[in-house]
Amino acid sequence: MSDENKKLEEELESFRNSIGTADRSGNRKWVFAKKPSGKYYNYRTIVSWVLLSMLLILPFIKINGNPLFKFDVIQREFYIFSYPFFTSDFKIFAIGMITSIVFIILFTVVYGRIFCGWICPQTIFLEMVFRKIEFLIDGDRNKQIKLAKQKWDEEKIRKRLLKWTIYAVISFIIANILFAWVIGIDALRSLIVEGPIAHMSTFVGLIIFTGLFYFVFTWFREQACVLVCPYGRLQGVLIDKKTIIVAYDYKRGEREKGRARFKRGQNRAEEGVGDCIDCNNCVIVCPTGIDIRNGTQLECVNCTACIDACDEVMTKIKLPTGLIRYASEEEIVENKKFKFSPRMIAYTAILVILLGVLTSLLFMRSEVNSKFLREPGTDYQVVNESIITNEFQFNLQNKTKSTEQMHFNLKSHPSGTIEVIGLPIPLLIQPGQQIEGKAVISIPLKDISSYKEGIEIEVLNENDKVIDTYKTSFAAPFK
Ligand code: SF4
Ligand code: SF4
Task: State whether residue 429 is helix, strand or coil.
Answer: strand
| Cα–ligand 1 centroid distance for 373 (angstroms) | 72
Per-residue CA distances from 435 to 16, 397, 398, 428, 431 (Å): 60, 6, 9, 9, 11
Please work out, in degrees rounded to the nearest 5, the angle formed at the alpha carbon of residue 307 by the alpha carbons of 319 and 32.
Answer: 120
In contact, 390 and 109? CB cutoff 8 Å: no
Please tell me the distance from the alpha carbon of residue 356 to that of residue 364, in angstroms, as a whole number: 12
368 ligand 1 Cβ < 6 A: no
Please tell me the residue having the least CA distance from ligand 1 atom 4.
279
Could you give the CA distance from residue 75 to residue 66 in angstroms, rounded to a whole number? Answer: 15
Could you tell me the distance, in angstroms and rounded to a whole number, from the CA of residue 135 to the centre of ligand 1? 23
Q: How far is the CA of 236 from the centre of ligand 1 (A)?
A: 25
Q: Which range, 303-317, 413-427, 432-446, is most confident?
A: 303-317
Instruction: In whole angstroms, give the CA distance from residue 16 to residue 294.
Output: 9
Q: Nearest residue CA, atom 6 of ligand 2?
A: 286
Rounded distance from Cα 208 to ligand 1 centre (Å): 42
- Of 92, 110, 118, 95, nearest in space to 348 by CA: 110
Residues in the chain: 479
More confident residue, 473 or 356: 473
Going by DSSP bridges, is the β-strand pair 368-374/381-383 parallel, antiparallel, or unpaired?
unpaired
280 lines ligand 1 (CB under 6 A): yes
Closest C-alpha residue for ligand 1 atom 3: 276
Lowest mean pLDDT among 271-285, 350-364, 456-470: 350-364
Is residue 288 a contact partner of residue 300, using CB atoms and an 8 Å limit?
yes
List residues bridging with 469 in a β-sheet. Answer: 458
Where is average pLDDT lowest: 41-45, 219-223, 430-434?
A: 430-434
CA–CA separation, 397 and 387 (whole Å): 30
Does 309 sit in the ligand 1 pocket, CB within 6 Å?
yes
Cα 171 to Cα 211: distance, rounded to the nearest angstrom: 7
Residue nearest atom 8 in ligand 1 by C-alpha distance = 276
Task: Determine contact, residues 259/271, Cβ cutoff 8 Å.
Answer: no
Q: Mean pLDDT throughout 364-393?
A: 87
Instruction: Choose the residue to mutate in 122, 127, 141, 301 for probing ligand 2, maximizing ligand atoms within 8 Å of C-beta.
Output: 301
C-beta atoms surrounding 110 within 10 Å = 20
Of 199, 210, 201, 148, the closest CA to residue 175 belongs to 210
- The predicted-structure confidence for 56-69, as pLDDT tens digits, reads as follows 999 999 887 788 89
> How many angstroms is it from 306 CA to the middle of ligand 1?
8
Q: Distance (Å, rounded) from C-alpha 243 to C-alpha 108?
A: 8
Question: Distance, CA 277 to ligand 1 centroid (Å)?
Answer: 6
200-215 and 185-194 are packed helices; what angle lies between their axes, rounded to 10 degrees? 110
**Nearest Cα residue to atom 3 of ligand 2:** 302
The DSSP result for 304-345, as a single string, is -HHHHHHHHHHHHTT--S-SEEEE-HHHHHH-PPP---HHHH
For residue 298, give the ligand nearest its CA.
2
pLDDT, tens digit (0-9, with 9 covering 90-100), for 384-412: 889 999 999 998 888 776 788 999 999 99
* pLDDT class of 425 with cuts at 50, 70, 90: confident
Q: How far apart are CA 79 and CA 170, in angstroms?
A: 27
- pLDDT-derived band at 431, boundaries 50, 70, 90: confident
- CB-defined site of ligand 2, < 6 Å: 246, 285-288, 290, 292, 300-306
